[in-house]
Chains A and B, each alone.
Chain A
Amino acid sequence: MHSVTVNINGKECNAREGSTILMACKELGIDVPTLCYHPDLSIAGNCRVCVVEVEGWKTLVPACVTPITPNMVVRTDSTKVRKTRKLLVELILANHHNNCPECERNGNCELQDLAERYNIRFNRFQTDEKPESSVQVSSAIMRDNSKCIMCTRCVRTCEELQSVAVIKSVGRSSEIHIGTFDDKGLGDVACTQCGQCINHCPTGALYEKDETVPVWAALEDPEKIVIVQTAPAVRVGLEEALGLPIDHHTGKMAAALRRLGFNRVLDTDFSADLTIIEEGHELLFRLKDALVEKKEVPLPMITSCSPGWIKFIEHKHNDLLDNLSTCKSPQQMFGAIAKTYLCDKEGFDPAKIVSVSVMPCTAKKFEKDRPEMNDSGFKDVDYVITTRELARMIKEAGIDFDHLPVEKFDRFMGDSTGAAVIFGATGGVMEAALRTAYEIATGEEIPFKGLNVLPVRGFKGIKEASVLLPDEMAEGWEFLAGVTLKVAVAHGLANADKLLKAVKAGEAEYHFIEIMACPGGCLGGGGQPIPTDMEKRMERMRAIYAEDESLPLRKSHENPEIQLLYAEYLKEPLGHKSHHLLHTKYTKRDRF
């Protein structure tokens, strides 16, 4: 696209031909308000608040849609533009249940911002009663259409990023609303509960099912022993959610959790390392079965950490369920180990344990309620709160996060390695698994500079890598000598869908695939701070790899507490106890 001269607000400037007026204005630092626009999504052009004046046009034009042409004369600041935008915001507000102080998104709402910006003190078009709240509940996602402004960002997210497409515009004119087929609840359709719709909603029409109330109650109950785990991606999002400058201090997060009253502050990173041990061995044994025993083994093996992804494959590609690793997700491994091993070590009564999980994810709320997740003899994980919910608890408790000391996680399930931290980014599980599996099979470190498996990093939708195994292998793994291990990584369910279709069509052959439901992996999860866009995802990803590099241990099998767990309790990877506590099975679900 070459540069052309345009005139915006009376000033000659250069813009790229064919880019939209909105993009050109952004690049030139000219502010144009938006609501239905989101950089992750296709252009809808339906809210109209970005309208601008273009010379020669009878009507105003939406800046998000209209391409720049040479010598275009644009006004973004005329009275006509300002008055029209203000009126449009009034129209939206007149049909919006604006109970701002009681809203999930109070203080972080794009509509509220516009109302403030356009100085709306009195709505001239409030000609009828405001819509009443109408909350639809599912395991993780709540929808209140009385706050919906019909921007269709959720619809486009569900379809374009996730290829789930269970929500659509239904009805027309003033009856229009976002709904599902036959207006069934989100829990009764093929929704994956990934929560990306929440992250892309400009208002409070979508939010997670709050579990802070029972967590507060548990914390205040002296009979209970409340333990908490925090996922890798939470530590790179929490400060954002608190509205604080970002220095990604995991130690402050641990301190805050302790001050909230959790009896043990532990780490999902610990169980991420555990997952790698189990899953790495599972992969090696599947390869052994295939190559040595010549058995029909489901390959490629596919990761199972992301519960949105699991629900997706159970609905849409359930002929491939045997390809899934049988490993539980780190959250659920943690839950099962906490109510068994940890209780043994600490002398806790597992019946008194309340296991709380802090996740960048909404689908984890669904996952913890799966009926099979009670191998400890109790419900393995009791409550799941998102990064956003934890931030709300910290604020409510009046904790001055910025000035907290740096503290450590508690013992037995608090140690982790850099391999666990990178679980939070797309490609991280793959990289962590390769670091460990390669070393088990060869006895050598993986031959990537600084252990950084760069081909599986970054934001490309589908990434591929191959690792040539050497001729000299460790004892027992000689059959892998000279084998090229082929792997792929996909993030965002639309990419996952594409990758699986290619695998089914025989267009691509891999041994191992990592899939994360959310764009960017967990760092871009549905429970992460809003807004989440490419800029934020990149920042969080940088933080994750920086933390990995800064840690003394960067391979899961070097985690001393993991070594202790195996020595004292599990005995061996894929052993009897592991099978009982750490592995699971999957369920076929309806396609629609």
Chain B
Amino acid sequence: MEKKVLLAENQPEFGAGLEKALNMTPADVVYEVRDSGMKGRGGAGFPTGVKWNLAGAASSDVKYVICNADEGEPGTFKDRLLIEKYSERLIEGMAMGGYAIGGSCGIIYLRAEYPYLIPVLERARQNFLDRGLLGKNIRGSGFDFDIEIRPGAGAYVCGEETSLIESLEGKRGEPRNKPPYPVNSGYLDKPTIVNNVETFCAVPHIILNGSEWYTDLGVGDCTGTKLFSVSGDVERPGVYELPMGAPLKDLLELAGAEDIQAVQVGGASGATVPASGINRTLSFKDLPPGGSVIVFDSTINMVDVLENFMDFFVHESCGQCTPCREGNLRLMHAAQDIINGDLCCKACMAPYFELAEAMKISSKCGLGQTSANCFVDIVNNFVELSDECHCGEYRCEGGDE
């Protein structure tokens, strides 16, 4: 059932976490976050404390704390809610990140479609400045920190941290080669942490209540809580906060999903689960929860959904690397061929599964590595392929190995 921490009615005072952190050593802040076991709430699930530890250890007089508020995954709107209601918590979390790694510059990279949130964030910043919780020598600690709000330009790929950094530098939003990783060489080639809005918002709670408390919030070996944006064929769409590791079923009950054909967890690049899978858990080990949960009822043709998503990826690939640029296009054509009845059998489909695997293992960034997920899941679960070929295409006659 719901467990509200980030969205709790009674919240600790904004700034309390930061004040507590300033009385700790930066290393202790890092260790507390590391011990909480929190994994990045953007979806990729990299342990936040490990990232901060690496950035903290990097030697540089300038380091950057970047908040990835480029919430672009289809069906995700949890960060929008957090910024609307808890923007001071976000700024507090970022300042704590800055203190932890030894950086005094914060940047919020805000989704282009959220311009109305700029004044909200500016007000929150001003409040913190007024209270002496931002700026020079915060509360006499000798620690300086301030933030800057920078709107994106509307590219999905800029949710990928190195593309985001390129975009911030005024370049094309294209992922970088790694290594080097941003923790060593990020924005303007300086050590940089890039974390999701929800990740930063959770940090003050972790510091105020301790890592053990946070760990205990989760189910099993999962830690903390997680926000989910639920949409689609449900009675009560909206943002829900559940313990990490909760069964998908719980979330669907909360949102009022009656007729379930499929649930997509983690957005277009996440997993598409048939109704039989609702007992699976929302966890990095099972269904990695980026934040988006979309429910499709039995009236929906899932292949239409697939075509729609592939069209999205064809539009949003940056076009830099071969598998993502060319692969998404071919998968979209395959989806169209399924709709038209031109892809009839398992043999016809085999090359596309091979393509999906190649994209997953050879694309440069997370976009291309995950965009074929929905293709594989939807074709496997919702498309009936015959054993015998009717089209007589060369490719079905062993055209390739």
Contact = CB atoms under 8 A, between A and B. Distances in A.
Interface of A: 43-49, 51, 58-60, 62, 65-67, 80, 83-84, 87-88, 91-92, 94-95, 122, 124-125, 127-128, 149-150, 168-169, 171-176
A175 B319 contact: yes
9 contacts: A44-B177, A46-B322, A51-B361, A84-B362, A88-B362, A91-B330, A150-B319, A172-B155, A173-B319
Nearest to A49: B322
Interface string B254-272: 0000000000000000000
A124 B399 CA distance: 8
Main secondary structure of the interface of B (DSSP, over half): helix
B318 A172 contact: yes
Contacts of A47: 321-322
B131 interface: no
Given A171-B319, A174-B325, A122 B399 contact: yes
B355 A125 contact: yes
B361 A84 contact: yes
A84 B314 CA distance: 20
Contact of B318 (A48, A87, A173): A173
A127 B322 contact: no
B158 to A, nearest CB: 11
B355 A60 contact: no
A84 B358 contact: yes
Contacts of B314: 173-174
Contacts of B155: 172
A502 to B, nearest CB: 24
Contact of B322 (A91, A122, A169, A171): A91
A127 B330 contact: yes
B363 interface: yes
B320 interface: yes
A175 B315 CA distance: 9
A62 B362 CA distance: 8
Nearest to A79: B401
Given A47-B322, A48-B363, A127-B330, 17 more contacts: A46-B320, A46-B364, A48-B364, A59-B362, A62-B177, A87-B354, A91-B323, A94-B330, A122-B399, A127-B334, A150-B319, A150-B325, A172-B155, A172-B157, A173-B325, A174-B319, A174-B325
Contact of B362 (A48, A92, A168): A48
Contacts of A92: 322, 326
Rank and list the top 5 A-B pairs by shortest CB-CB distance, nearest first. A176-B319, A91-B326, A127-B333, A173-B317, A124-B351
Given A87-B358, A125-B351, A45 B319 contact: no
Nearest to A45: B177
A176 B362 contact: no
Given A67-B179, A122-B395, A176 B325 contact: yes
Contacts of B172: 168-169
Contacts, number: 114
Interface centre among B314, B325, B360, B394 (most CB of A within 10 A): B325
Contacts of A44: 177
Nearest to B348: A124
Nearest to A67: B179
A95 B362 contact: no
Interface string B165-180: 0000000101001110
A127 B395 CA distance: 12
Contact of B400 (A60, A122, A168): A122
B317 A172 contact: yes
A87 B363 contact: no
B304 interface: no
Contacts of A173: 314-319, 325, 328-329
Contacts of A60: 361-362
A63 to B, nearest CB: 12
B247 to A, nearest CB: 26
A478 B31 CA distance: 78
Nearest to B351: A124
A80 B329 CA distance: 22
Interface string B355-397: 1001011111000010000000000000000000000001100
Nearest to B400: A124
B327 interface: yes
Contacts of A48: 321-323, 362-364
Contacts of A66: 179
B148 interface: no
Given A84-B362, A91-B330, A169 B323 contact: no
Interface centre among B354, B362, B395 (most CB of A within 10 A): B362
B323 A127 contact: no
Contacts of B362: 48, 51, 59-60, 84, 88
Contacts of B113: none
A429 B394 CA distance: 61
Contacts of A59: 360-363, 369
Interface string B57-90: 0000000000000000000000000000000000
Contacts of B174: 169
A217 to B, nearest CB: 42
B337 interface: yes
A91 B400 CA distance: 15
Nearest to B179: A67
Contacts of A46: 320-322, 364
A83 B326 contact: no
Contacts of B333: 127-128
Contacts of A83: 354, 358
Nearest to A122: B399
Contacts of A49: 322
Nearest to B343: A127
B319 A172 contact: yes
Contacts of B364: 45-46, 48, 62
Contacts of A84: 358, 361-362
Nearest to B318: A172
A169 B369 CA distance: 22
A149 B174 CA distance: 17
B41 to A, nearest CB: 21
Contacts of A45: 177, 321, 364
A205 B177 CA distance: 25
A48 B320 CA distance: 10
